[in-house]
Structure 1
């Protein structure tokens, strides 16, 4: 997993509330176990019509938001089923930060494990950032994880809280496998001692 430090980029406004994981990535696309390739189907039923043509009014189809790396969303983002394909699809599209007033617990934790930073802020601050995002591609936000600050395109700063352990994992690019590999020498020592003590195993 790549290290997460500072993201400066276009923020896409998505004020819908209760965006569930089936809206993020419909169940028809859950057959794969690969993390890559799902970005094209992100928000599939909102992005495309039944003939597969882009719906121009959908925010990520608008020219100014096609390269968005930050999503400013409505309340209760990522609710519904616990599919890990949802953060996979967002990350594959290029989304690195999601800002909302609340997230579903499983989606929230899965986001960190897939290199994305979900940020919870009070409604009035999300509203301010939503308004900033509506300015389009010229309004670029900066999210500084180390110092836990979002800076709007106008220079306004919004501090945010994040769990210290989750922050450590993102800053160092550690997913569950990476965390385990940090203990590789201890694991090797233990396995060597266990093999000597129980050679029949």
Structure 2
């Protein structure tokens, strides 16, 4: 997982509440265990009609938001089943941060394991950011993980709270495997000692 950098990107407004994981990536696409390729099916049932044609008024199909890296969403984003394919699809599409008033717990934690920063802010702040996102591709938001701030295209700054361990993992690009590999020398030493003490094992 790459280290999380300061982000200056286009933000797409998605004011719907209760966007669940089946809306993010429908169950038909859960047959794969690969993290790549799912971005093409992100929000599939909202992005495409039954013939596979783009639905023009869906936000991520609009020219201004095709390269969006930030989502400003309604309350309770990522609810529903605990599928990790949801953050996989978002990350593969290019989404690096999501702003909402709340997230489902499992989805929230899965985001950090896949290089996505979920940002929780009060409704008043989300309303301002939503309005800013509606300006389109000419308005870029800044997300600073180190400073824990989101800045609108007009320079209005909002601070957010974040668990220090989750912040460390994103800044250092550490998923569960990366965290384990940080302890590789200690693990090797333990296994060597255990092998000497119990050679029959």
Using the size of structure 1 for normalisation, the TM-score is 1.00
Query: Where in structure 2 are the equivalents of 1:1-201 lying within 5 Å?
Result: 1-201=1-201
Measured in 2, the distance between the counterparts of 1:163 and 1:36 equals 28
Gapped runs of 5+ residues in structure 2? Answer: none
Deviation at 1:62, TM superposition (A): 0.1
Gapped runs of 5+ residues in structure 1? Answer: none
Deviation at 1:135, TM superposition (A): 0.1
1:138-194 Cα offsets, whole Å, 9 max, x none, are 000000000101111001100111100000000000000000000011000000000
Deviation at 1:5, TM superposition (A): 2.4
Q: How many residues align?
A: 201
1:102-142 Cα offsets, whole Å, 9 max, x none, are 00000000000000000000000000000000000000000
Match of 1:138, SS state, is coil
Measured in 1, the distance between the counterparts of 2:139 and 2:67 equals 13
Measured in 1, the distance between the counterparts of 2:197 and 2:26 equals 51
Deviation at 1:42, TM superposition (A): 0.1
Measured in 2, the distance between the counterparts of 1:98 and 1:53 equals 26
Using the size of structure 2 for normalisation, the TM-score is 1.00
